[in-house]
Amino acid sequence: MESSHAAYLSVPRTGKSEVTTLDHAGAATLPPLLTVEETAEQLHIGRQSFTKVKSGEIESALIDERGRHVPRVAVIEHITGPRQ
């Protein structure tokens, strides 16, 4: 059964950000890992993303020298709620 949750994100389409409804197809266009900055842009929360990542509210992982990254699923879960 499909979830009826929909959220609005800036999903890259043609090199520009545009507001669109997050669905399975839209989520698939997000990269598997996003930087904290990219997460902030997608969620429209600015510097709050750093606080949410630091507190663990948004899941993240330290990836070698590239810094901290947020999995695509964590961005989706932040909007729609945890997986059931």
pLDDT along the chain (84 residues), means of 10: 45 45 65 93 90 95 90 88 66
Residue 38 to residue 32: CA distance in whole angstroms = 12
Whole-number Cα distances in Å, 59 to 15, 18, 45, 74: 26, 25, 15, 6
Helical (H) or strand (E) element with 26: helix 24-28
Task: Give pLDDT, residue 42.
Answer: 87
Task: Give pLDDT, residue 22.
Answer: 55
**40 and 47 Cβ atoms separated by less than 8 Å:** yes
Q: How many CB atoms lie within 10 A of CB 10?
A: 15
Task: Give pLDDT, residue 43.
Answer: 87
Task: Give pLDDT, residue 11.
Answer: 47
User: What's the pTM?
Assistant: 0.65
Residue 31 to residue 1: CA distance in whole angstroms = 25
Task: Give pLDDT, residue 29.
Answer: 84
- Mean per-residue pLDDT of the chain: 76
